[in-house]
Amino acid sequence: MGDDAVVDAGWDWVAAKGLRVASGLVSEPSQTTPTGVVGLIVNPRSGSDVRRVIASAATSTLEDKISIVRRLALGAAQVAPVTWKVLHEPHEIMRRAVETRPEISYDRLDLELVFTEEDTVNAAAALKHAGADIVVVLGGDGTNRAAAKGWIDLPVLPLSTGTNNAFPYHWEPTVAGVVLGLVAGGVVTVDEITTQAKVVHITAVAGTPGYVEPGGPDDLALIDAVAVDDRFVGSLDLFDPDTMQLAVLTRADPAAIGFSSVGGLVVPVTEHDDHGLLIRFEPPASASQTVVAPTAPGHHTAIGYTECRPLPFGETVEVDGPVLLAVDGERKLRLKEGDKVTMHVDRDGPRVVDVAKAMQLAVERKVFVES
């Protein structure tokens, strides 16, 4: 086949997909047929809690999120016709983002809101049922964790608008939107632009209350699960080094903040390493080893520890009550005396989009070049 024939064949495919891209040489498309559906999950409250007062965390306003969603939608529309599916929430972020762009279509998920993280859990499950090609999540570690609870291996482009942001990343939403369009339009596939994330699985031992099904999988963390001797579930106060007992991490990044940085400054673990990290803490005053780490934005503290080592996939760590479990920076469950859970790390979590790789593949496939 000559070059002209290749170009014609490539353009026929692009035209059949309805893609708004330049004509030119296009490599053979994937056999996977996209639905053209992009899911959107926005946590309106992310980046706005009390940690702006007790630490120096940045603020993400409602107007910021509307602007991000607008740029995502415009970026996607530049590449392919996209049907957005969004959770209906009181602030109507999607409507306000695209109300002046009638060519951008979206449908609301028909879900009853309870105004807890369960809204995100249910939205992710509904997007899976709706056949979404990809989901963009605006929030922090906690929002992405909730989405993963609803769809454990969801294909996700996580944009950071929260407080604990070891899992989501920062990309210009216009470019991120183009990647969403590339996936929805079938120019690139989820399999070739994603890496499956690691997850901390938390499982109740039979007889432990507070879970739906003791003995089965119960909860998860995308970055860290920590046992602390704190008083209040749901508290957003900074963690006290004197009350911290142990942590299981999927990654430990010396350039991050939070528990990821605590481990990362001792034994770094990347998202690509096929193991997690176990840290056993001790009060700094009596510990033989301490590390000074940025545990919150603008806040460093000395953390004492007795053990910090790689945790192989599948190796279980037992946690006995009384203790409070915090997952991805949020205190979630109190174990009473006699309660027990196990924790282990595996690579079976969300499929996280590599924006740069997606754009590079699009360049190689001559998506943006006219000839």
Q: Tokens at residue 113, please? A: 């809101």
Same domain, 216 and 294: yes
Same domain, 261 and 293: yes
Same domain, 23 and 171: yes
Same domain, 84 and 180: yes
Asked if the bond preceding 168 is cis, omega within 30° of 0, the reply is no
Query: Which tens digits make up the pLDDT trace of 109-121?
Result: 989 999 989 999 9
What would the DSSP string read from start to end of 331-364?
Answer: EEEEEPTT-EEEEEEES-S-EEE-HHHHHHHHHH
Q: Tokens at residue 363, please? A: 């360049």
Taking CA atoms, 253 is separated from 115, 267, 268, in Å, by 32, 9, 6
The amino acid sitting at 115 is F
Query: Which tens digits make up the pLDDT trace of 126-145?
Result: 999 999 999 999 999 999 99
pLDDT of residue 216: 42
Q: If residue 65 lies in a helix (H) or strand (E), which one and from where to where?
A: helix 62-77
Q: Give the whole-number percent of the chain exceeding pLDDT 90.
A: 69
The structural domain count of the chain equals: 2
In a domain, 142, yes or no: yes
> Is the pLDDT assigned to residue 212 strictly greater than 90?
no
> Which residue matches tokens 């997690």?
276
In a domain, 149, yes or no: yes
In a domain, 369, yes or no: no
pLDDT of residue 276: 98
Mean pLDDT of 267-271: 97
Q: How many whole angstroms separate alpha carbon 87 and alpha carbon 138? A: 12
In a domain, 56, yes or no: yes
What is the domain range of residue 225?
Answer: 199-346
pLDDT of residue 22: 39
Least confident of 10-14, 121-125, 178-182: 10-14
In a domain, 70, yes or no: yes
Mean pLDDT of 229-243: 74
Number of helices and strands in the chain (H, E): 10, 18
Query: Which tens digits make up the pLDDT trace of 57-72?
Result: 557 789 999 999 999 9
pLDDT: is 205 or 279 the higher one?
A: 279
What would the DSSP string read from start to end of 140-153?
Answer: -HHHHHHHHHHSTT
Same domain, 291 and 339: yes
Taking CA atoms, 286 is separated from 56, 180, 265, 289, in Å, by 29, 51, 20, 9
Same domain, 179 and 270: no
Same domain, 224 and 175: no
Same domain, 247 and 129: no
Same domain, 127 and 210: no
Rounded mean pLDDT of the chain? 85
pLDDT of residue 198: 98
pTM metric for this prediction:
0.85
Q: Tokens at residue 166, please? A: 């070891």
In a domain, 371, yes or no: no
CATH of the domain at 91: 3.40.50
Is beta strand 340-346 parallel, antiparallel or unpaired with respect to 323-327?
unpaired
> Which residue matches tokens 């922090």?
140
In a domain, 131, yes or no: yes
Same domain, 182 and 158: yes
CATH of the domain at 305: 2.60.200.30
Q: Report helix angle 355-364 to 173-184, nearest 10.
A: 60
265: Cβ contacts below 8 Å, ≥ 6 apart? 254, 291, 292, 293
Q: How many whole angstroms separate alpha carbon 143 and alpha carbon 161? A: 10
In a domain, 370, yes or no: no
Q: How many whole angstroms separate alpha carbon 248 and alpha carbon 343? A: 8
Same domain, 187 and 243: no
Mean pLDDT of 251-274: 96
Same domain, 191 and 311: no
Q: Tokens at residue 46, please? A: 């992310």
